[in-house]
Amino acid sequence: MSEPAAKVEEAFDINRIDDVIHGRVRLGIMAILSGVESADFNTLKTRLSATDGNLSVHLRKLEDAGFVAVTKRFEGRKPLTEASMTPSGRKAFIAYLDAMQGLVNGSPG
């Protein structure tokens, strides 16, 4: 009975889980951005049920990691903040998903 536990331990490497992406809101941001060219702040806020401050903090963390690019501009007189996934963000997101798939399948990934 201890043999399957040993196999799970060998297969699962906690260090493959990217802490920057792993948070619920950050994972949601990455999932949304993976399917679109960009998303505006209000769309992200609504889809993730986040507050302005909470979303800003999580976007900043992803931006600081180089996973998301945030642009701010004006549309008419209204400020518009948009986020898009960077190439390194896409690579990190795919690696994160691969690590999760490996965990589900019980393989190193």
Q: What is the DSSP string of 68-107?
A: EEEEEEEETTEEEEEEEE-HHHHHHHHHHHHHHHHHHHTS
Owning domain of residue 49: 18-105
* Domain membership flag for residue 93: yes
* Domain membership flag for residue 43: yes
* Domain membership flag for residue 6: no
pLDDT in tens, 6-53: 455 555 677 778 889 999 999 999 999 999 999 999 999 999 999 999
Q: What is the domain-level CATH number for residue 63?
A: 1.10.10.10
Q: Phi and psi at residue 100, in whole multiples of 5°?
A: -65, -40
What's the whole-model pTM score? 0.83
pLDDT in tens, 59-86: 999 999 999 999 999 989 999 999 999 9
Q: What is the pLDDT of residue 82?
A: 97
* Domain membership flag for residue 69: yes
Q: Under DSSP, is residue 24 helix (H, G, I), strand (E, B) or coil? A: helix
**Structural domains counted in the chain:** 1
**Amino acid at site 29:** I
